[in-house]
Amino acid sequence: MVADGGCAWHAEQTHESLAPFLIEETAEFIDAIERDLPPEEVRGELGDVLYQVLFHAVIAERDGEGYDLASVAQSLNEKLVARHPHVFGDRGHMTVAELNAEWERLKEDAAGEDRGSRAPLEGIPAGMPTLARAAKVVERLKRARLVDPSAAERSAEDPLSAAIGPAETAMAEVGIGDAMLALVIRANAAGVDPDRSLRLAVNRLAERVSCD
């Protein structure tokens, strides 16, 4: 792929130069799933994602970074076994809530950290897409019992309530999408970058919870 005498473009690539392609190919795969495309098209998009993984592994081998595709697969296998003692060990059946707690403990053990020392938001990549990061932050804080997302549904200050109406259970996906789109339209009218607005709001939430 990147050997002498091969493709000149491939030979010039680095992890950094390929990162946008990994994002793009992943987005195309997700799009194929959400559009319910035929299995053969989904398969092709998944192959494109796999190609990016292969490419990065070959670059690492070429540049002497200490790993290749075989060692990547081996590390993945070891992690899967270590993170699933209820499957490969003798822990027996565990509920989803128990699994979430166990995974956090296993991550601490793997990092050599004391049990319970890991902050709720530790390990969330800053480079995640803003909306995905916001969802991750809220989910982590919910697991840590630091926020109660369901409380917003009963709040008169809920900024979505006017758009989707009150709901005692999970709000409809269509309603949430419409409300978010309405906010983007309002942001455009106000000359505000909605991505930046959300990013700053997530940062404020994380800081507020960390200080409590």
Name the E strands within 48-205.
none
Burial of 25 from C-beta contacts in 10 A (0-12 / 13-18 / 19+): buried
CB distance 126 to 118 below 8 Å: no
Tell me the whole-structure pTM to 2 decimals.
0.63
What pLDDT digit, counting tens, does each position of 22-79 carry? 999 999 999 999 899 999 999 999 999 999 999 999 999 999 999 999 999 999 999 8
Q: What is the mean pLDDT of residues 128-149?
A: 86
Kindly tell me if the per-residue pLDDT of 170 is higher than 60: no
Residues in the chain: 212
Contact 131, 201 (CB under 8 A): no
